[in-house]
Amino acid sequence: MTSDSMVKVEFLTANHHLVGHVTTGARRFSTWLNLVSEPTFTLDNAIVRSLEELDAAEIPLEFVLVERQAVVAAIPREPPVTGEATERGGKPLEYVEKMRREIVVTLPPFALRGHIHLAKGADLRRVLATSRDAFMPFSEARLVYTVNPRLLWEGEVILVNRSKAQLYWPSPDLDGR
């Protein structure tokens, strides 16, 4: 990665799907998204698509200025970052053993199903209620546009704007296990 780290990403607002590149200053995308303090950021080499007018053409643009609080969800399309410890098969010093829980989140006009990773023994309710990240990550996630469920996005990670989320609940066990 270069020191500027251009990362391809998808952003979803209540009305638009945007694809382009952000400059993260050599930070991992999720870290950059949660630490950026400016109310707007630039999406370069962007394509904008209306979710309300699906027949309308995509609009290619040199850049789009995005209001951070308008973002409902973000999907990084970057290769996973591997540290030296994981390349050697070891665990990083800050490693904490975690368990995975499947969660459903409503973010009108979207709904998400994905996994949250909790430290073993952590209380799920407390983690969901007290997370300090403005954008909470969900792995192996699927986001559906509830107005038109044919529109859906999947990602290794989807970050949800906590200020847009209305409900969180553990995914029901549909297999009867």
98-154 pLDDT per residue, tens:
889 999 999 999 999 999 998 888 888 998 888 888 999 999 999 999 999 999 999
**Into which CATH architecture does domain 6-76 fall?**
Roll (2.30)
Q: Could you report the per-residue pLDDT of 65-113, keeping only the tens digit for each?
A: 999 999 999 999 976 444 444 444 555 556 678 889 999 999 999 999 9
Q: Where are the domains of the chain?
A: 6-76, 95-170
Do the domains spanning 6-76 and 95-170 agree at the CATH topology level? Answer: yes
pLDDT band at 172 (very low <50, low <70, confident <90, very high): confident
Between the CA of residue 59 and those of 20, 40, 49, what are the distances in Å? 12, 20, 6
**Into which CATH architecture does domain 95-170 fall?**
Roll (2.30)
CA–CA separation, 163 and 177 (whole Å): 33
Q: Could you report the per-residue pLDDT of 47-60, keeping only the tens digit for each?
A: 999 999 989 999 99
pLDDT band at 167 (very low <50, low <70, confident <90, very high): very high
Phi-psi region of 25 (alpha: psi -120 to 50; beta: other; left: phi over 0): left
Query: CA 95, 96, 99, 102 torsion: positive or negative?
Result: negative
33-54 average pLDDT score: 93
